[in-house]
Amino acid sequence: MNIQSDTRKNYLYNVVCELVTTLIPLLTMPYVTRVLGRGGMGAYQYVMTIASYFGLFANFGVKAYGNRCIAQAKDDPDARNRTFSGIFYQQLILSSVVGAAYMVYALLWGGEYRVLFAIFGINLVSAMLEVTWLYWGMESFRAVALCTIGTKAAVAVGIFLLVRDADDLPIYALLCSLGVIAVQLYLWCGVHRFVRFVRVPFSEIRQHFLPCLALLIPMLAPTLYRSMDKLMLQSLSGAEAVGLYGAAEQLQTCMLGFITGLGAVMLPRVSHLLSQGRERDAHGCIGDSMQFEAFIGGAFACGIAAVAPVFVPYYYGDAFAEAARLTLVLSPTILCIALADVIRAQYIIPHKRDRIFVVSVLVGAAVNLISNALCIPAFARHAEALGMTADGAAALGSIPGTLLAEVSVLVVQYLWLRRELPFRTYAGSCVLFPIAGIVMLIAVRGLDAVLRAAGVTGAPVLLAAEIALGGAVYLGITGVWYLCRRRDTLKRLLKR
């Protein structure tokens, strides 16, 4: 069975799906935070974080491994049937074991959140039925993208119609979980177009275990330390602190969706260049990507920090006003993650150097753990001096660890690859963007002070003026620099 694929269309489907998946939460979040409050959002994010860990083990690296194996067997129907059957049977066995462990955990340690744990069990069933890897391997991205977009839109409508007050937290969790499993159920309707189940011996099922495990570790490592903050906040402070931190993190996550969605387009290009032995051209693509992501990352990081005091209370509601300070302090991680993503996606993965990525992220996890253990209680004790509630101060105490973790990931990757990549050249071409961002930040905060002194206090007016000035300053500085110093680079970036 030969499947003709249009690479450009597949990339377009992926990017559009990523953007829609990012934008829909931006539309629903202001409503949800006002309805559920800090405690409700904190409880949701805490349980979701734990369930996501179980979900990772239930999937066990099958998404990446299955995608690769199906692609390799795409033109051989018999091999494809055996490959799919062996991988899926392993997925079914492992996810059943993990699901049983999740049920035990929920019963013994679920406490007041047992209902939420039960609802999130739907996500474990979804992991058991996970079949997107088959579609990706067959390069059939359209069905996955359209189904995901439609499901996200339906869930958003359901949230606005059914979630009315804080008591509706279980309904909110149920809608989100049903949205996840609905995608898999829909995709199963088309599985017969690609494969059919065949009987395979257990030895053939077992042979997929170690390769999946090798791909699970790189997936687990970043989730480990990016979710650690919420778990430690819940343990050391409570659900309201988790809710405040989650509100700040949500904005960061949405902005990163744009960055990684656009940056992912370069990965196959670099891989193709390397397969042809064109190492120098690949390094050139990495340098251009560094500039592009530094440009976007600098704008988002400093732009969010600049408008946070006005935007966060207006967007989330007054109950989340303290999240403005958290957002401001957390925003530099956007730039760090953007730059690290270029190294990972365009050098480490194409060169099959997963060990570098795993070690760097584990170092970040250790740094984050130590910092959180020290800073969360310390900040909470000095809440009055910080001018915050105890929950807000505890949430603020989790951010130094996040910042240090992201910086440590970059440092480890730099130390490991400093003899292989021209980091000094990359730094010289990217240094302007954080500088332009800081100038933008100062200009916006100055405008805010002037407008407030003039009696302008309406959030929509303030935001419109601040965004307009910030965009003009940032684009003005970077545009003049490119036109005067980097005109050839600008033409190359636009062409790419």
pLDDT mean for each 10 residues of the chain (496 residues): 50 72 82 90 90 87 80 84 93 93 93 93 93 84 87 94 94 95 94 92 88 71 70 86 87 72 52 62 73 87 93 89 91 87 75 77 87 92 91 92 89 89 84 93 95 89 94 91 64 51
Q: Does residue 216 sit in helix, strand or coil?
A: helix
Residue 54 lies in a domain: yes
CA 41 to chain centre: 18
Q: What is the DSSP letter of 191?
A: G
Does some domain include residue 258?
Answer: yes
Same domain, 200 and 236: no
Is the residue at 212 inside a domain? Answer: no
Task: Assess whether 260 and 360 both reside in one domain.
Answer: yes
Q: How far apart are the first and last CA of the chain?
A: 33
Question: Are residues 328 and 189 part of one domain?
Answer: no
Q: Return the amino acid letter for 144.
A: V
* 293 and 419 in a common domain: yes
Q: Does residue 495 sit within a domain?
A: no
Do residues 187 and 131 lie in contact, with contact meaning Cβ atoms separated by under 8 Å? yes
Please state, in angstroms and rounded to a whole number, the distance separating the CA atoms of residues 457 and 82.
65
Here the tokens at position 357 are 């990525």
In a domain, 496, yes or no: no
Residues 193 and 85 in one domain: yes
Longest CA–CA span in the chain (Å) reads 77
Q: What pLDDT is attached to residue 178?
A: 95
| Domain span including residue 414 | 218-490
The C-alpha atoms of residue 28 and residue 31 are separated, in whole angstroms, by 6
| CA pair distance 345, 349, nearest whole angstrom | 6
173, 207, 241 - which closes a domain: 207
One-letter-per-residue 3-state SS of 7-42: HHHHHHHHHHHHHHHHHHHHHHHHHHHHHHHHHHHH
Same domain as 223, residue 195: no
- Residue 171 token pair: 């309904």
Provide the 10 A C-beta neighbour count for residue 456: 12
pLDDT of residue 275: 53
Same domain, 355 and 469: yes
State the pLDDT at residue 21. 76
Which of 187, 207, 227 represents a domain boundary (last residue)? 207
| Nearest residue to 125 via CA among 181, 175, 171, 47 | 181
Strand, helix or coil for residue 331: coil
Cα four-point dihedral sign 143, 146, 152, 158: negative
Please check whether residues 9 and 61 belong to one and the same domain: yes
Show Cβ contacts of residue 224 under 8 Å, excluding neighbours closer than 6 positions.
361, 362, 365
Residue 326, in any domain of the structure? yes
User: In terms of Cα–Cα distance, which of 9, 113, 18, 96 is closest to 57?
Assistant: 96
Residues 202, 225: one domain?
Answer: no
40's CB contacts (< 8 A; 6+ apart) are 166, 169, 243
Predicted TM-score of the model (pTM):
0.76
pLDDT of res. 210: 83
**Pair 161, 251 in one domain:** no
| Residue found under tokens 């462990």 | 101
Domain stops at, among 146, 177, 207: 207
Q: Is residue 466 part of a domain?
A: yes
Tell whether 242 and 196 lie within a shared domain.
no
Q: How many domains does the chain have?
A: 2
Q: Is the same domain home to 327 and 367?
A: yes
Is residue 23 in some structural domain? yes
